[in-house]
A and B are shown apart, each in its own frame.
Chain A
Amino acid sequence: MEGFLHFNLQRANAFVLFLLFCTLILWFIRAARTRQDLFIRKIAGLNAIDEAVGRATELGRKVLYVPGISSIDENQTIASLAVLSHVARMTARYNTELDVPNKDPLTFASARETVKEAYIQEGRPDLYNDSIVHYVTYDQFAYTASVAGIMMRERPATNFLIGSFAAESLLLAETGQASGAIQIAGTAEIAQLPFFVCACDYTLIGEELYAAGAYLSRDPAMLGSIKGQDWTKALVGLAIIVGTLAATTGLFDLARLFRAR
């Protein structure tokens, strides 16, 4: 009880918005479990995954999966692991070589579990070995040099660059482009998006990356959360329009309601 007396009233607006967001998401998750007709628009980059893995299988070359450079406390990494799970299931199904070099040790541990489980789920634990997911280094550019080396020496047919990236994004994407690989990238790092768009065949932009796990799994609960997120975005858009009009006409300052400390 003592704790509730110290509720931070300055953040009451954030609390209301938080509750609204959670309610919308949970309501749509519940709705999605009963309805099967949820429409989620097509995401070209995610649809291309099957084709990209298929190409590697046909050419008899490996699939390279780079899960970004951040740790597991970064949402983009978690989203990337969801895509990795799907890719690993496909490489297990088609007996295609997979290579997952890692920069962050915690991401490395999670990626290994993800890939191992995917191979088990596909009924091909015999194809799994620990060298598929390996650790390289904690240093950003030494990692970049190592991955660029794999791209040029081993010539993977398909490169996935999905997760949180920084300055190495263009170094990796350009090297992959020069090696002739088909490249699917995805990040929510705004500064890196132009580089991926220039040098890769497909790019998942921002929220598309976060939606990837739900999109690929087609799990109704997960798709429902995307729907709830879209409705929240619509409300944010509405608030922006109303706020802009109100501020322009000098009626009231809507932005004040959204300021949290």
Chain B
Amino acid sequence: MFLRVQLPLLLTFLAGLIPIVAFFFTEKARLVKVPNDRLEKWMIIIAGFAIMLGVVNVVQGNIRKIERKGPGWHYAIFLLIGLVLPGSFGLLGAFNVGPFHGISPHADGSPSPFSFFVSYVFQPLQATMFSLLAFYVASAAFRAFRVRNLEATILLLAAVVVMLGRIPLGESLFAWIPGGKLALGTFTEWLMNNPNTAAQRGIMIGAALGAASLSLRVILGIERSYLGLEKD
């Protein structure tokens, strides 16, 4: 019971309290600053090692899938190859083993095995996924922006103004009016700086207070679901 409930709650309490107290003291207050620095260092180390947890789970899950010949088990083989190959390039490169010298491109500009993988496989795949956003934004806008009522109309008009104001085409649309070239851009900036900022701040303040309230519940052990614990 102590290890399962009291100890995690005590650790949470201390890990939450120490940075708060440290925030209110100067650097000379070593009594609070030293534990706080130590805590921050531990966080960096734990964050680094935590990735091993995930890797072990991925390997276990996919080996199990291959053993059971579950649906799509062939893909699990490719996944494991994709995990092991670049991973070993990186590890061997970091320790300068044989031809796997370094993880960055070599001094003459030629790629190391790991950097080759990063530049010609990883980066293009990443950019491709992100660029899908343009397609999805278009389809979501087509579906969502309808003049259903007054609010929806205002939303639509604001969206169109900002979209036009963010491109040179919008500027040239009004260029025939004296001073019109800058009008749309100026109006867009006004929309972003005023109505947009006002709404953002409202949500930000509410969310910040919500986050602070949740933090307090966590530190005091009132909110425990993230530990897999229910209230007594």
Q: A residues within 8 Å of B by Cβ? A: 2-8, 11, 14-15, 18, 21-22, 25, 29, 71-73, 75-79, 81-82, 84-85, 102, 104-106, 108-110, 112-117, 121, 131, 134-139, 141-142, 144-145, 167, 170-171, 173-174, 188, 190, 193, 195, 198-199, 205-211, 213-214, 217, 219, 221-222, 225-226, 228-229, 232-233, 236
Nearest-neighbor residue (CB-CB) of B203 within chain A = A206
Within 8 A of A (CB), among B126-146: 126, 129-130, 132-133, 136-137, 139-141, 143-144
> A246–B27 Cα gap in the complex (Å)?
36
Tell which of B94-102, B171-179, B185-193, B224-232 binds the partner: B224-232
Chain A residues contacting B231 (CB-CB under 8 Å) are: 217, 219, 221
Report the nearest A residue to B206, measured CB to CB: A207
Cβ of B149 < 8 Å from any Cβ of A? no
By Cβ-Cβ distance, the 5 closest A-B pairs, closest first, are: A113-B228, A210-B210, A207-B210, A206-B207, A141-B129
**Residues A193 and B203 in contact, CB atoms below 8 Å apart:** yes
Min distance, Cβ B198 to any Cβ of chain A, angstroms:
11
Give the distance in Å from the alpha carbon of A209 to the alpha carbon of B31 in the complex: 36
State the Cβ distance, A66 to closest chain B Cβ, in Å: 16
Q: How far is the CB of B191 from chain A (nearest CB, A)?
A: 14
How far apart are A141's CB and chain B's nearest CB, in angstroms? Answer: 4
Q: Indicate the member of A4, A6, A114, A190 with the most B CB atoms within 10 Å.
A: A6
In the bound complex, residues from chain B placing their C-beta under 8 Å from that of A225 are: 213, 216-217, 222
Whether A174 lies near B140 (C-beta < 8 A) is yes
**In the bound complex, do residue A195 and residue B140 qualify as a contact, i.e. CB atoms below 8 Å apart?**
yes
Q: Out of A145, A167, A236, which one reaches B133, CB within 8 Å?
A: A167
A138 touches B51 (CB 8 A): yes
User: B214 contacts the other chain (Cβ, under 8 Å)?
Assistant: yes
Interface residue B66 (Cβ < 8 Å from any Cβ of A): no
Q: Contacting B25 at CB < 8 Å: which of A8, A193, A213?
A: A8
Cβ–Cβ contact B226 & A114, under 8 A:
yes
Residues of chain A within 8 A (CB-CB) of B31 are: 2-3
Q: Given the known A-B contacts A110-B228, A141-B129, are A11 and B24 also in contact in the complex, defined by CB atoms under 8 Å?
A: yes
Determine if B32 is an interface residue (Cβ-Cβ < 8 Å).
yes
Chain B residues near A188: list those with CB within 8 A: 203, 207, 210-211
Q: Output the nearest chain B residue to A131 by Cβ-Cβ distance.
A: B61
In the assembled complex, which residues on chain B have CB atoms less than 8 Å from the CB atom of A131?
61
Query: In whole angstroms, what is the CA distance A246 to B229 when docked?
Result: 48
Residue contact A117 to B213, C-beta cutoff 8 Å: no
A213-B212 CB under 8 A given contacts A108-B53, A135-B57: no
Q: Are B28 and A6 in contact (CB under 8 A)?
A: yes
Contact B130 A109 (CB under 8 A): no
Chain B: minimal CB distance from A16 (Å):
11
Closest to A133 in B: B57
Q: How far is the CB of A60 from chain B (nearest CB, A)?
A: 17
Q: How far is the CA of A18 from the CA of B212 in the complex (A)?
A: 10
B54 within 8 A of A: yes
Instruction: State whether A171 touches B226 (Cβ < 8 A).
Output: no
Residues A233 and B205 in contact, CB atoms below 8 Å apart:
yes
For A86, the closest partner residue in chain B by CB is B225
- Residue B150 at the chain A interface, CB threshold 8 Å: no
Question: Do A8 and B26 have beta carbons less than 8 Å apart?
Answer: yes
28 contacts between A and B (CB under 8 A): A6-B27, A7-B25, A8-B24, A8-B26, A14-B24, A71-B50, A75-B214, A77-B226, A78-B218, A84-B225, A105-B53, A105-B54, A108-B57, A109-B53, A110-B228, A113-B227, A114-B227, A114-B228, A141-B126, A170-B140, A190-B207, A193-B203, A195-B140, A199-B140, A206-B203, A206-B206, A222-B217, A225-B216
Q: Which residue of A lies closest to B126 (CB)?
A: A141
Is A22 in contact with B216, judged by CB distance below 8 angstroms?
A: yes
Q: Would A232 and B214 count as touching, CB distance under 8 A?
A: no
**A41 → B minimal CB distance (Å):** 13
Give the docked Cα–Cα distance between A211 and B231 (Å): 16
Interface presence of B119 (CB below 8 A): no
